[in-house]
Amino acid sequence: MKELTIPATVENIEKVTEFVNRQLQEIHCPSKAQMQIDIAIDELFGNIAHYAYRPETGPATVRVEVTEAPISVIVTFIDHGVPYDPLKKDDPDITLSADERAIGGLGIFMVKKTMDEITKALANVVSGLMTAVRDRMYEKALARRNAMTYTATTQEELAEIVKDKQGFVKMMWCGDEACEDAIKEKYGVGTRCIPFEQEHLSDKCVCCGKPAKHLVYWGKAY
Mean pLDDT (whole number) for 50-56: 87
SS3 105: coil
pLDDT at 115: 67
Q: What confidence tens digit (pLDDT) does each residue in 82-115 have? A: 877 666 667 666 666 656 656 566 666 667 666 6
Same-domain check for residues 160 and 84: no
Sheet of 190-193: strands edge to edge? 149-151, 168-173, 214-219, 190-193
d(CA 205, CA 216): 10
In the listed set 127, 143, 159, which residue is the last one of a domain according to the structure? Answer: 143
Same-domain check for residues 195 and 159: yes
Q: What is the CATH number of the domain that holds 114?
A: 3.30.565.10
0.85 exceeded by pTM: no
Name the more confident of 108 and 56.
56
Q: What is the CATH number of the domain that holds 164?
A: 3.30.110.30
24 pLDDT higher than 80: yes
Same-domain check for residues 128 and 207: no
Same-domain check for residues 70 and 119: yes
205 pLDDT higher than 90: yes
CA angle, 144 then 183 then 150, to 5°: 25
168 with 149: CB under 8 angstroms? yes
Same-domain check for residues 12 and 49: yes
73 with 29: CB under 8 angstroms? yes
d(CA 220, CA 222): 6
The closest of 178, 198, 202 to 190, measured between CA atoms, is: 178
Same-domain check for residues 77 and 186: no
In the listed set 103, 119, 143, which residue is the last one of a domain according to the structure? Answer: 143
Number of independent structural domains in the chain: 2
pLDDT at 11: 95
16 pLDDT higher than 80: yes
- What residues are paired with 11 via a beta bridge? none
Same-domain check for residues 92 and 195: no
pLDDT at 134: 78
For 61, counting Cβ atoms within 10 Å of its Cβ (0-12 exposed, 13-18 middle, 19+ buried), the class is: middle
Q: Could you give phi then psi for residue 172, rounded to 5 degrees? A: -85, 145
Same-domain check for residues 165 and 215: yes
pLDDT at 55: 86
The closest of 217, 159, 161 to 190, measured between CA atoms, is: 217
Range of the domain at 203: 149-219
Same-domain check for residues 116 and 14: yes
Q: What confidence tens digit (pLDDT) does each residue in 114-134 have? A: 666 545 455 555 565 566 667
Percent of the chain residues past pLDDT 90, beyond the cut: 45
186 with 140: CB under 8 angstroms? no
Whole-number average pLDDT of the chain: 84
Same-domain check for residues 82 and 116: yes
In the listed set 143, 169, 190, which residue is the last one of a domain according to the structure? Answer: 143
pLDDT at 118: 46
Same-domain check for residues 52 and 12: yes
Same-domain check for residues 130 and 190: no
Q: What confidence tens digit (pLDDT) does each residue in 125-172 have? A: 556 556 666 778 888 899 999 999 999 999 999 999 999 899 999 999
